Amino acid sequence: MEYTEETSNKEQKIIHPNEYEKASNSYLMAIVAVIVGVPLPVINITASVIYYLGNLKSSYFVRWHCIQAILAQTIMIPFNSIAVGWTISIMLNVKEVTLYYGIYLFAVILFNIIEFFAVIITASKVSKGKNVRWFLIANITDLLCSKKNKDPYSI
């Protein structure tokens, strides 16, 4: 079953299966960035933004999923940045290891693992043509993504 998106004149546009793969790759960019840049949280969002910029003229479906992937990474940045900063300050002997640090680090690692598997599951479902909407993030994505057709090759 193919996913269809509504255009401004209430017509249904069928999405090409190639678009499913492009949309799915927007989530996989975050996973590749995690593998490359685990200690630097900004690397993940930078990779997602670069992928989005490369797909600005793609269909609404692809752009929408790129923005949702960026927002998912944006939520993780404050938590990961605090953990990295705290860890660096401990390594430089500025602060001591405390119980609060251990609890926070455990929570951040757990949060990252949950997000990592959520991204993999979302990428898999999107590549099969299912439109996955993340709680709260999808509503913000709807507001940020323009429904204007930017595909230069559309007929």
pTM: 0.74
Q: How far is CA 51 from CA 1, 19, 48, 69, 113, in A?
A: 27, 14, 5, 10, 22
pLDDT reported for residue 136: 86
pLDDT at 6: 47
**Model pLDDT, residue 34:** 61
> What local confidence, expressed as pLDDT, does residue 99 receive?
94
Q: Of 124, 140, 7, give the one whose Cα is nearest residue 71.
A: 140
C-alpha–C-alpha distance, residues 141 and 71, integer Å:
8
Report the chain (155 residues): mean pLDDT per 10 consecutive residues: 44 69 76 61 80 87 90 88 90 89 94 87 88 89 81 56
Give the C-alpha distances (Å, rounded to integers) separating 100 from 8, 32, 81, 82. 52, 30, 16, 13
Q: What angle do CA 52, 129, 72 make, to 5 degrees?
A: 40
Q: Residue 106's pLDDT is what?
A: 95
